[in-house]
Amino acid sequence: MTTHLTAPNLSASPLDENADVALVLPYYKSERFVRETIDSIVNQDCKVREIVVIDDGTPYDSAEQALAPYPFLTIVRQENQGPGAAREAGLKLTTAPYVCFLDCDDRIAPGGLTRLRAALEQHPDWGMVSGRAMIIDEHGAPTGALMSPQPETTDLYGELLERTYICPPGSVLFRRSFLEDVGGWRTDLNRWGVEDYDVYLRLARKGPIGCVQDIVNEYRRHSGSQGQDSERLLDSIVHVLEDERQYTELDWQREQSRLAGLAYWRREFDLRHREHELRTAWRSGRRFHAARLAAAYTIRFPRPAAASIYHRTRAKLARRGTTEPERSAALK
**CATH 3.90.550.10, the chain: domain bounds:** 2-227
3-class state of residue 210 by DSSP: strand
Q: How far apart are CA 303 and CA 268, in angstroms?
A: 12
Between the CA atoms of 138, 139, 140 and 144, what dihedral angle is there, to the nearest 10 degrees? -80
Count of beta carbons in the 10 Å neighbourhood of residue 151: 17
CATH number of this structure's domain 2-227:
3.90.550.10
Tell me which residue of 217, 89, 206, 87 sits closest to 150, measured CA to CA. Answer: 217
Please check whether residue 107 is in contact with residue 217, taking contact to mean a CB–CB distance below 8 angstroms. yes
pLDDT tens, residue order, the chain (332 aa): 433 344 444 446 899 999 999 999 999 999 999 999 999 999 999 999 999 999 999 998 888 889 999 999 999 999 999 999 999 999 999 999 999 999 999 999 999 999 999 999 999 999 999 999 999 999 999 999 999 889 988 899 999 999 889 999 999 999 999 999 999 999 887 888 899 999 999 999 999 999 999 999 999 988 765 445 778 888 999 999 999 999 999 999 999 999 999 999 988 877 665 565 566 667 777 777 667 656 765 665 566 555 555 545 555 455 455 444 343 333 33
Q: How big is the chain by its Cα radius of gyration, in Å?
A: 20
- Determine if the peptide bond prior to 168 is cis (ω within 30°): yes
